[in-house]
Amino acid sequence: MSSGTPRVAIPKNGVDYRGKIVLAPMVRSGECPSRLLALKYGADLVWGPETIDRALIGTVRRENALTNTLDFTRFSSNGAKNPTIAPEQRESVIYRLHPGREGRRLIYQIGTSNPETAVQASKLIAADVAGIDVNAGCPKPFSTLGGMGAALLKTPDKLCSILEALVQEVGKPYEIGISVKIRILDKAEDTEALVRRLCATGITGLTVHCRTTPMRPREKAIRDQLKMVADVCREAGVACLMNGDVTSRDEALALIQEFGVDGAMIATAAETNSSVFRPSSEGGRAPWEEVVKEYVKTAMEVENRWGNTKYLLGQMIPGKQPAYKAMTATKSYSELVKALGYEADLGEMAQDVDRRLEIGTFEKPKMSKAERKKANKATTQQSEQTPNGSAESKTLTQAMTGAKRTADVAQLDMPLDVSRDRGPASVPEHASTLAV
């Protein structure tokens, strides 16, 4: 790069994407332990999974002394169908980060469709991350039907207004960078026009996923437009990252050189084995046995949701290995470490985590159908006696009685093990992981 090439100034609390090999934002596969493991094996930066702005709005920022994490939590009224559950037991962690181990290397990716809620949500977390990245590339209906993700590529005015608002109202006050992740358009000239507009909003970085919106991960990435996008970004002084079919640090460095981009994201390959961030000169890709044990330990250290941990292990352990079958039969961390042969090293920790998460032998008994029906009837009668109750209490009552809720209420009320796996910031249990 010549000395005359412009560069957008990197804010004091932000980070320059140039020269970085990073973990891509992945639904279900980008939670806290996955990010920490990627950093351990050499990732320069990590993106969290897309989190919808409305899901973060209304959360409370809590410092978790047990895990040394920052937890953004909210109370879920979905679990209130069982009114005997105490509110503190129904508190869901919407977003968890580890300031000591990822801190200023974490980029928060936001799913949004309007500037107001984007700014409102981003202000809640801006002080704890290195940047805010707008998802304008996810092609899944849970995102596009709400005007988010790849749908924003069809509404460039809206996308630009979101970025401009974030730059002015979040980026500048908190001194962090604002960036965007897009997909290529069918015509190169349309992609070029869009990138020029986005670079003019004040962003510090742009990631281009080298697939069109209809394309899926199994389809080979299209890199015909990549050099052009890199050149446009360079003219504007904006860092450009590439995404799509990048499988290792060594390959990423070769592609950076070939196409003139500033950095690269690794997605699916990192989901399977985080050590892909390690250069071959330092050992390269580690055996799956090593990575899996390190992941299990990391997941317990941050008390990761059991369902998410088990899902990731299903991607990391080869399906033909005996360990895979043993893992799938487990229902708690204690059972897991025993099945994988880690009990001597991690058994005590697993017991403590199971106790706090109330899983396995520590799972609390559930109400019978008759008990639930009786409790719901009592809740309904109580609600009818207070017709002037607040909207919030009525929403809670609706959930308790099983009454129909609006989509917005349902989206925010689902407990974490459901909302993250099935809600608008994720995909169903049976679906494949998606890099957004």
Contact 61, 121 (CB under 8 A): no
Q: CB under 8 Å to 193, separation ≥6 — which residues?
A: none
DSSP category for residue 2:
-
CA 291 to centroid of chain Cα atoms: 21
Task: Give the DSSP letter string of 270-338.
Answer: HHH-GGGGS-GGGT-SPPHHHHHHHHHHHHHHTT--HHHHHHHHHHHS-TTSHHHHHHHT--SHHHHHH
Q: In the beta sheet, which residues pair with residue 46?
A: 23, 106
Pick the catalytic residue from 32, 138, 160, 233.
138
Q: Which residues share a beta bridge with 74? A: 92
Residue 138 among the catalytic residues:
yes
| Residues 152, 198: Cα–Cα separation, whole Å | 12
Q: How far apart are CA 321 and CA 318, in angstroms?
A: 6
Cβ contact 153:185 at 8 Å: yes
Task: Decide if 44 contacts 379 (C-beta within 8 A).
Answer: no
Q: How far apart are CA 123 and CA 185, in angstroms?
A: 31
One-letter amino acid for residue 56 of the chain: L
* 354 in Cβ contact with 338 (< 8 Å): no
**In this structure, what token pair is assigned to residue 428?**
């169903």
The alpha-carbon radius of gyration of the chain (Å, integer) is 22
209, β-bridge pairs: 183, 243
3-class secondary-structure state, position 28: coil
Fill in the DSSP letter of residue 171: I
Can you tell me which residue has the tokens 């399977």? Answer: 272
Largest CA distance in the chain: 75
Please give the positions annotated as active site: 138
